[in-house]
Amino acid sequence: MQHYCGIDLHSTNHVVVVIDEENKRVFEKRLSNDLSQTLRVLSPYQKTLQGVAVESTFNWYWLVDGLQEHGYNLQLVNTAAVKQYDGLKYSGDYQDAFHLAHLMRLGILPTGYIYPKAQRAIRDLLRRRLSLVRSASAQLISVQSQIWRSAGIRIKSETLRKPDFKPSDGYTLQAANEGF
């Protein structure tokens, strides 16, 4: 008998649902975020478990790494690509975890790449840097727009970035517009 597991992970707890090859629930429980509890409830199914689908937005590292270290086949769910059944009247954590296991059983679970532990810190740092660069660019454009609206002066980004920039440094409408 083959089994499939879906886990709906939250900040302080997670719901584990295990189904069989006939789509019947053989286990379901809400657990606190403690790897030892998860390992304990999955151990009876480890030899027949085809995979564990984990749905989480940000705090999955501890669970995925811990289960992989104990020999489980993990799939990180692409949450943006998972669609619930049309017309589903009730959806909750147990139904979500069941749905993940069901999609895995059917072989249509949309997944994401699980970066190796050693590469995650660099990836996360680069994502944070990208966010900061976007934010800084938006702020710079906002300042340029405000000066242009208020004073009718267009100032280049490189000029605004100078540490000694002062709006009153002889900028006139004509001088500011010469560079555009």
As averages over each run of 10 residues, the pLDDT of the chain (180 residues) reads 96 97 97 98 97 92 95 93 62 92 96 87 86 91 88 86 74 51
Mark whether 98 and 156 lie in a shared domain.
no
Q: Domain of 78: which CATH number?
A: 3.30.420.40
Count of structural domains within the chain: 2
Cα 142 to the chain's mean position, in Å?
29
Range(s) of the domain holding residue 136: 119-177
What b-and-e string marks burial along 78-109, b requiring 16 or more CB atoms within 10 Å of the CB? eeeebeeeeeeeeeebbbbbbbbbbbbbeeeb
Tokens of 54: 């984990």
* Among 109, 103, 113, residue whose Cα is nearest residue 60: 113
CA distance 139 to 133: 10
Dihedral sign, Cα of residue 141, residue 143, residue 144, residue 146:
positive
Which pLDDT value is given to residue 173?
47
Q: Report how far apart, in Å, the C-alpha atoms of 135 and of each of 53, 56, 105, 142 are.
A: 34, 26, 42, 11
Q: What is the largest CA-CA distance in the chain?
A: 81
The answer on 124 and 95 residing in a single domain is no
Using a cut of 0.75, tell me whether the model's pTM lies above it: no
Residues 95 and 130 placed together within one structural domain of the fold: no
* The pLDDT of residue 179: 53
